[in-house]
Amino acid sequence: MFRDKIELKGFDKTDAEYKDLLGRVLAIQADCEIGGPYLYVKDMLPTAPTKMDQLIVARTAAEEIDHFRKVARVARDIGVDVSYVLSWPNEKRYLEAFRGLINTWGDYAVFGFLIERVGLYQLEEFSDCTYVALPQILPEIIKEELGHIGFGTNKTAELAAKGDEQKEKVQSAVNFWYIKALTCSATRSRSDPSDSSTGESNAEPTLRRGKSTFERSAL
């Protein structure tokens, strides 16, 4: 396994396959960071149930856009331009979880509860990346992602506690996004986004346990 630490200064001398794989990883990550706001801002920002919720949607989107900026900068430094994902329609996103739109508060909450959690797993895997510039941008991103997950988890539980009808809607959203989360984690565990082979990622057992625990306690 390749374990040498690579600095930007010596990147040009790195093996071509390493350069290609790193470029793909950064492109996928950049697309995922910007993909969230494209899913929910249009509908969720103006329809948030409270002013505080509206502020949180806006702040979350702003943080994700900044995460994209950080990843794009790392990519730019190695000669990879990821700006094309800014103009992509949602249906072209690398990961299925970012294709479509979020237009209900329950889906927005569960997206934070499950999909943001998958994103955190991926970021944690990057913490030991051999290209040292990538781990250097992670601490602030991970801190903010933990906030997104916490809000999504708490809001999902809050919505589920509002009566049987709302509970059923939340359960439906949990089931829907749980499948998306498994697909997302499996796809991100592969270096080539066009590879459709199946396989369990490290995140999947934890996701199953988290979903089961949440359903027992909140639903």
Q: What tens digit of pLDDT does each residue of 43-80 get?
A: 999 999 899 999 999 999 999 999 999 999 999 999 99
Interval 124-153 mean pLDDT = 96
Q: What percent of the chain is predicted at pLDDT more than 90? A: 74
What interhelical angle do 16-47 and 51-77 show, nearest 10? 160
Beta strands in 93-198 (DSSP E): none
Q: What tens digit of pLDDT does each residue of 5-47 get?
A: 999 998 999 999 999 999 999 999 999 999 999 999 999 999 9
Fold of 8-218: Ferritin (1.20.1260)
Q: How confident is the model at residue 3 (pLDDT cuts 50, 70, 90)?
A: confident
Q: What tens digit of pLDDT does each residue of 99-138 get?
A: 999 999 999 999 999 999 999 998 999 999 999 999 999 9
Would you say residue 162 has pLDDT above 70? Answer: yes
Residue pair 209/181 in contact by the 8 Å Cβ criterion: no
Residue pair 108/36 in contact by the 8 Å Cβ criterion: no
DSSP secondary structure letters along 107-151: HHHHIIIIIHHHHHHHHHHHTT-SBTHHHHTHHHHHHHHHHHHHH
Q: How confident is the model at residue 187 (pLDDT cuts 50, 70, 90)?
A: low
What interhelical angle do 138-160 and 203-218 show, nearest 10? 30
